[in-house]
Homo-oligomer: A and B are copies of this chain.
């Protein structure tokens, strides 16, 4: 995968609140983001829209962009298709000799016009959601690496596992720990600049696609933080969660939860079990493959209004968990790093 220094992030009409990939890249990726494309907000800065985002100019179109190495598609419509209103920007990027990075279900490298332009101008099209062909069955060897493996697991989808993982990596690095990040979804892959889209591989290879990444990075770092997906009791996505749990052979688990979440997101007839039941299920399910303990929790309190109530929610979550907990965004992931390492 190319590792561009400078990128322009496409986020038309959805920035910032419906542009999870764009904001994730702005906050956590090592790229130098030189501009955000959003035709709804030209002339403003990303920082004007959300105070945790950097001061990056927003422009209307790729034709106005400063010099850059790549265009990164930072939004996805429902279903992961390609929005034809983006075509002119992608075309312009390729004509300028820029690579294009996308995480859509629609693969840009299979688009005849884009493929021809990329060949003509010597650019790379990187569809990060396309699993590479060598991914196969797990061998049960992820625990052989030198690094300690920490996996974020969840009570549900969309509770903040990726964010918690990235905050833990940053906090660990600030404490001088040599920490690596193992991405498992398209946004994590775009942020990291590499990785397997675990939710898009053949089901038999779910664990194998995680194991491959652990083996690749496990001797380069002291600790690997693996981005979890879904939840072990999710009606639709538990297979991916289970494959990541066993494929990573994690030593430590961090349980991620969203304050006030009581039913499965998008599947509201399914109630979430008690936190203590999650602890027991994750640990007992991991055990026959590799013993793992839930060593801490990350609570997303973004829907809790004031900081006092949020702190109370974190404390009560830690009690249920029987382990230290933080909100790594509202408060500080460093507290958890200090307790866990």
Write the residues of chain A forming the contact surface with B, with a CB cutoff of 8 angstroms.
137-140, 198-208, 232-243, 245-247, 249, 264, 267, 269-273, 277, 280-281, 284-285, 287-289
- Interchain CB contact (< 8 A) of A239 among B140, B242, B249: B242
Asked if B199 and A236 make an inter-chain contact with CB atoms under 8 angstroms apart, the answer reads no
Contacts A233-B288, A289-B233 given; does A200 touch B207 at CB 8 Å: no
Nearest residue in B to A234 (C-beta to C-beta)? B246
**8 A-B contact pairs sorted by A residue (CB < 8 Å):** A139-B236, A140-B236, A199-B202, A203-B206, A203-B240, A238-B289, A270-B288, A272-B288
- Shortest beta-carbon distance from A108 to chain B in Å: 19
Asked if B289 and A270 make an inter-chain contact with CB atoms under 8 angstroms apart, the answer reads yes
Nearest residue in B to A264 (C-beta to C-beta)? B140
Chain B residues with Cβ below 8 Å from A236 are 137-140, 204, 207-208, 246-247
Chain B residues with Cβ below 8 Å from A235 are 138-140, 207, 246-247, 249, 289
Asked if A140 and B208 make an inter-chain contact with CB atoms under 8 angstroms apart, the answer reads no
Contacts A201-B203, A267-B140, A271-B288 given; does A238 touch B233 at CB 8 Å: no
Chain B residues with Cβ below 8 Å from A241 are 242
Q: Could you tell me the distance between the alpha carbons of A234 and B290 in the complex, rounded to whole angstroms?
A: 11
Chain B residues with Cβ below 8 Å from A246 are 233-236, 238-239
Asked if B240 and A232 make an inter-chain contact with CB atoms under 8 angstroms apart, the answer reads no
- Shortest beta-carbon distance from A50 to chain B in Å: 29
- Shortest beta-carbon distance from A205 to chain B in Å: 8
Asked if A203 and B198 make an inter-chain contact with CB atoms under 8 angstroms apart, the answer reads yes
Chain B residues with Cβ below 8 Å from A273 are 287-288
Asked if A270 and B140 make an inter-chain contact with CB atoms under 8 angstroms apart, the answer reads yes
- Interchain CB contact (< 8 A) of A269 among B140, B198, B208, B242: B140
Q: Could you tell me the distance between the alpha carbons of A42 and B240 in the complex, rounded to whole angstroms?
A: 47
Chain B residues with Cβ below 8 Å from A205 are 203
Nearest residue in B to A273 (C-beta to C-beta)? B288
Chain B residues with Cβ below 8 Å from A203 are 198-203, 205-206, 239-240, 243
Asked if A207 and B238 make an inter-chain contact with CB atoms under 8 angstroms apart, the answer reads yes
Q: A204-B236, A284-B284 are in contact. List 7 more A-B contacts (CB 8 A).
A: A140-B264, A203-B239, A235-B246, A236-B247, A238-B242, A238-B246, A239-B240
Q: Could you tell me the distance between the alpha carbons of A240 and B242 in the complex, rounded to whole angstroms?
A: 9
Q: Could you tell me the distance between the alpha carbons of A206 and B241 in the complex, rounded to whole angstroms?
A: 12
- Interchain CB contact (< 8 A) of A285 among B200, B249, B285, B288: B285
Q: Could you tell me the distance between the alpha carbons of A271 and B290 in the complex, rounded to whole angstroms?
A: 11
- Shortest beta-carbon distance from A267 to chain B in Å: 5
Nearest residue in B to A231 (C-beta to C-beta)? B288
